[in-house]
């Protein structure tokens, strides 16, 4: 749902945050981020952007989803997600368009001389207690698997082991990608952007 205007350096991106709601649209104009979110719209000069958070935010209908949150002094918080509602049972991934838009946004902020606070991952006071609980669950699961092996409960052991692997894969990826940290405009951590094939990335000088 992203498309640059022909003959323009503007870069656009759009997604539907809800099934029945309007499409939210964003455009990187030469001097500002222009946005339209339902009945609200506005523009934020790049130098006025004071904070950005990039994170991995899976949801029920889309397990591979990323979210950018942008703050400025005179606009509401601007959320930009890498997935869009497509139907009642499906969210469409917009990996290439999202990654391209977020990278270009950082480049334009840097060119404007902006100095926003750049954060990657989850909010620390939510992340660390959540990680402690996750590690506790993992330790308990290992204990149950060992006990099942000792008692010769092979079926129970296989079930617990399969569940443990699934838990490690899903929640482990979440906590790994969402480690709270800072980053710079010219060095966005790869794990908080969708992985895009090289062929899908625009070459140097692409609009």
Q: What is the pLDDT of residues 60-74, one digit of tens each?
A: 778 899 999 999 988
Residue 115 forms part of a structural domain: yes
pLDDT at 2: 55
Which phi and psi (to 5°) does residue 23 adopt? -75, 135
Kindly state whether residues 16 and 43 are assigned to the same domain.
yes
Kindly state whether residues 110 and 51 are assigned to the same domain.
yes
Kindly state whether residues 187 and 168 are assigned to the same domain.
no
Residue 6 forms part of a structural domain: no
Residue 151 forms part of a structural domain: yes
How much helix, strand and coil, in percent to the nearest 5, is found in the chain? 40, 30, 35
The residue count for the chain: 207
User: 154: which 2 tokens?
Assistant: 């092979």
Kindly state whether residues 32 and 132 are assigned to the same domain.
no
Residue 3 forms part of a structural domain: no
Kindly state whether residues 117 and 55 are assigned to the same domain.
yes
**Does position 5 have pLDDT exceeding 60, yes or no?**
no
Kindly state whether residues 137 and 109 are assigned to the same domain.
no
Could you list the residue range(s) of the whole structural domain that residue 144 is in? 124-173
Residue 140 forms part of a structural domain: yes
- Domain total for the chain? 2
Which phi and psi (to 5°) does residue 42 adopt? 175, -170
pLDDT at 152: 83
User: 86: which 2 tokens?
Assistant: 């497509």
Check: CB of residue 15 under 8 Å from CB of residue 3. no
Residue 169 forms part of a structural domain: yes
pLDDT at 6: 44
Residue 35 forms part of a structural domain: yes
pLDDT at 204: 40
Kindly state whether residues 75 and 112 are assigned to the same domain.
yes
**3-state DSSP assignment of residue 59:** strand
Kindly state whether residues 42 and 112 are assigned to the same domain.
yes
pTM: 0.81
Kindly state whether residues 117 and 56 are assigned to the same domain.
yes
State the CB neighbour count (10 A cutoff) for residue 29. Answer: 17
Confidence of residue 89 (pLDDT cuts 50, 70, 90): confident
CA pair distance 43, 8, nearest whole angstrom? 18
Which phi-psi region, left, alpha or beta, contains residue 91 (left: φ > 0; alpha: ψ -120 to 50)? beta
Mean pLDDT of the chain: 87
Check: CB of residue 193 under 8 Å from CB of residue 54. yes
CA pair distance 28, 190, nearest whole angstrom? 22
CA pair distance 65, 120, nearest whole angstrom? 15
What average pLDDT does the segment 179-205 reach?
79
Residue 142 forms part of a structural domain: yes
**Does position 1 have pLDDT exceeding 80, yes or no?**
no
pLDDT digits (tens, 9 = 90+) for 93-138: 999 999 999 999 999 999 999 999 999 999 998 999 988 998 998 8
Kindly state whether residues 43 and 142 are assigned to the same domain.
no
Kindly state whether residues 17 and 49 are assigned to the same domain.
yes
pLDDT digits (tens, 9 = 90+) for 136-179: 988 998 998 888 888 888 888 888 888 888 888 788 888 999 99
Kindly state whether residues 43 and 74 are assigned to the same domain.
yes
Residue 163 vs residue 40, higher pLDDT: 40
User: 193: which 2 tokens?
Assistant: 């952007």
């Amino acid at each position: 749902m992203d498309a640059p205007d022909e003959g323009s350096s503007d870069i656009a991106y759009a997604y539907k945050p809800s099934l029945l709601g309007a499409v939210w649209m964003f455009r990187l104009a030469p001097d500002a981020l222009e946005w339209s979110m339902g009945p609200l719209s506005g523009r934020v000069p790049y130098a006025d952007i004071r904070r950005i958070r990039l994170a991995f935010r899976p949801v029920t209908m889309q397990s591979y989803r990323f979210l950018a949150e942008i703050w400025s002094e005179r606009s509401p918080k601007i959320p930009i997600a890498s997935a869009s509602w497509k139907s009642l049972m499906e969210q469409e991934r917009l990996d290439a368009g999202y990654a391209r838009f977020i990278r270009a946004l950082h480049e334009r902020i840097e060119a404007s001389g902006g100095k926003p606070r750049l954060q990657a991952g989850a909010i620390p006071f939510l992340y660390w207690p959540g990680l402690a609980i996750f590690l506790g669950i993992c330790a308990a699961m290992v204990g149950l698997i060992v006990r099942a092996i000792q008692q010769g409960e092979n079926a129970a052991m296989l079930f617990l082991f399969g569940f443990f692997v699934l838990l490690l894969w899903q929640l482990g990826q979440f906590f790994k990608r969402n480690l709270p940290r800072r980053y710079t405009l010219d060095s966005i951590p790869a794990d908080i952007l969708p992985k895009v094939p090289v062929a899908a990335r625009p070459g140097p000088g692409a609009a």
